[in-house]
Amino acid sequence: MTKKKLIVVSGMHRSGTSAMAGLLAKSGITFGNNFIKKSSDNSKGFYEDKDFVAINNKVLSAVGSYYDDARIIESSKFTDHSLNKLQSSAKLLLETIFSDHDTYGVKDPRFSRTWPFWESILDSLEINLLPITMIRNPYEVIASHQKREGFPASKSALLWLLYTQDAYRYFPKTVLCHYEKLLENPKTILENLKDHYDLELKIDDKLISESIIPGLYHNRAKEIDIAEVSNDIKELVSKVYTDACNNKMTVLTSHDFSIINSFKGFSFSYESYTEPLINDIGRIQKQNYILEEKLLPRVDIISINYNSKKYLPDFLSSISSIDYPKEKLHTIIIDNKSTDNSLSYLTKETALDANISVVEHDHNEGFVANNIGMRASNAEFILLLNIDTEIREDALRRLIDRMILDPRIGICEAKQIPHEHPKFYDVHSGQTSWSSGACMLIRKEALNQVGYFDSKFFMYCEDVDLSWRMWAHGWKCIYEPHAWVTHHNFDPFDTKKKPGLEFRLGIRNGLSMRLIYGSLFDYLGYWLRILLLFFSPHHSGHEKSLTAYAILGHIYAFSHFLKRRFTFKKLPFHNSRWIRFYGWDYAQHMSYDQ
């Protein structure tokens, strides 16, 4: 029986894993065709299978991590019983692949960190692992991440250490390939791989030249300034990279001392090398965390209460558990003239908490009442948080970390569970058309520039409107899927729900949004759609009344939104590709009974 072989290409992101996978694919190794899309900074393609990437992301999420998490992950977490369902999915994926192939290639840098999850699956299926670990000058990786994601140099350096250390730890018999050497002499690399792993490769100069283009070698080390990286991290990075450079392409094993000893400073076993490395990384991370605690910006949490007494205990409990310095966190709760005794409950429960302020509003102003708290805030960041939510302990830190990485982010939105708004976003950059006000972190500087919520909306669309003004002024809206918030009262699939208010305001605000941001075709086309529905025999009398009410509301505010249209057209980025009307949830509520 032929032994099945799985070639796994891994290593730190931006280290040549795509180049290696592309070269192998051109040389006859099947990597499938279910790849994530190419990007402007990787025109040859990533060669990452969507299914494997999805599983790796879910595995990282299940153990409380993510792809750019600069923290050590204990390997025992990957074998926890809570991952059994994911293991079944991964096993089925591999079984399906190897029902048609004897040799198959997969590429994902995340394998460097998640491999303990996959190891037992390969053993159970009797699949032979052929690992290839890409390594690149860490300072080039740092520069690449600064340019592409805006990561600070210190974070990228830690990530390089963690991905490299985990690859050494989990792939003790890996083939180590340097990115620079791959570009200089890809043919020799292929020949070595062919001999070492007994692979059937088609080594053709023309195919190689189509795959490897030295001109795509960006961010060379000589161009990089890493003055901001601490000396401790520099020393660790230099030590690990110097060790690796002494064997340009070497089979690493903790049992083969002749190879291990060929590394300078590697005069001991693999385990005794990696343990101090892990401890050093942990020590540096702890020092950085203490420093970060002192440097973290102030955040004001702003929430609206309207007859929400049943949600208040869980909401108050969740904000008290947020992992953030208490002296840098303040909560402002605006009561929108509640009638269910929730105001008295709030006043009583928060009386002794100096970090929570309750503001009694004299009328119900809807979601726009957030403006009261936002105007009163003098914090650097504002977290809008629905009262019917429970925020995860680490969610705010994740949102803050993302905002700090890129000073042009105006809004960073958390992921809502168990249901999320239908949303288009770039999986690499996180950029999204609009951010939901259920849990969004706003940069006060950006808010002061673009303005607050438009009071004419009352609720529904005011968050979309704010997001589009951010884009039009040159700020970014980012979706952060690793920051989670449980949203109890949002379920787009609840067929028992009769959202009359949402139905009416969805139509009214849909017209208003198209008047501000859309073309004449967008605006008139939406009018036609509304009128066709209004005169439809399937439209109930109640729906017709709500529709008429919505139309009158739009006409009443027409001049206000027309003025806003003229203002919008003068903004520097009014033609942003992210200002668009498809994939926008609030525009879809056209049937009250749906």
- Domains in the chain (CATH in brackets) are 4-292 (3.40.50), 296-487 (3.90.550.10), 500-588 (no CATH)
Radius of gyration of the chain from its Cα atoms, rounded to whole angstroms: 27
User: What are 592's two structure tokens?
Assistant: 């009250």
Asked whether the beta carbons of 467 and 477 are under 8 A apart, the reply is: yes
pLDDT in tens, the chain (594 residues): 568 999 999 999 988 899 999 999 999 999 988 887 766 555 566 789 999 999 998 999 888 888 887 777 888 889 888 899 999 999 999 999 999 999 999 999 999 999 999 999 999 999 999 999 999 988 888 888 777 766 777 778 888 888 888 888 888 888 888 888 888 888 988 998 999 999 999 888 888 887 776 555 544 554 444 555 666 667 777 778 877 777 533 333 333 323 323 322 222 233 444 445 555 555 555 555 555 556 788 999 999 999 999 999 999 999 999 999 888 999 999 999 999 989 999 999 888 888 899 999 888 888 889 999 999 999 999 999 999 999 999 999 999 988 887 888 999 999 998 887 767 777 677 889 999 999 999 999 999 999 999 988 877 788 999 999 999 999 999 999 889 999 987 544 444 444 677 778 788 888 999 999 988 988 998 899 888 888 888 778 888 888 888 889 889 999 999 999 999 999 888 878 888 776 554 444 333 333
- Ramachandran region of residue 192, left (φ > 0), alpha (ψ -120 to 50) or beta? alpha
How much of the chain is in helix, strand and coil states, percent to nearest 5? 50, 15, 35
Give 34's Cβ-side CA count (13 Å radius).
10
Phi and psi at 163, nearest 5°, equal -65, -40
d(CA 179, CA 169): 20
Among residues 284, 250, 288, the alpha carbon closest in space to that of 270 is found at 250
Q: Is 383 in contact with 439 (CB distance < 8 Å)? A: yes
> Residue 234: exposed, middle, or buried by beta-carbon count in 10 A (0-12, 13-18, 19+)?
middle
**Closest by Cα among 521, 523, 507 to 562:** 523
Report the distance separating Cα 390 and Cα 386, nearest Å.
9
Q: How far apart are CA 371 and CA 75, in angstroms?
A: 46
User: Which residues is 416 bridged to in the sheet?
Assistant: 485
**Are β-strands 439-443 and 381-385 bridged in parallel, bridged antiparallel, or unpaired?**
antiparallel
Neighbouring-strand partners of residue 104: 6
pLDDT of residue 413: 96
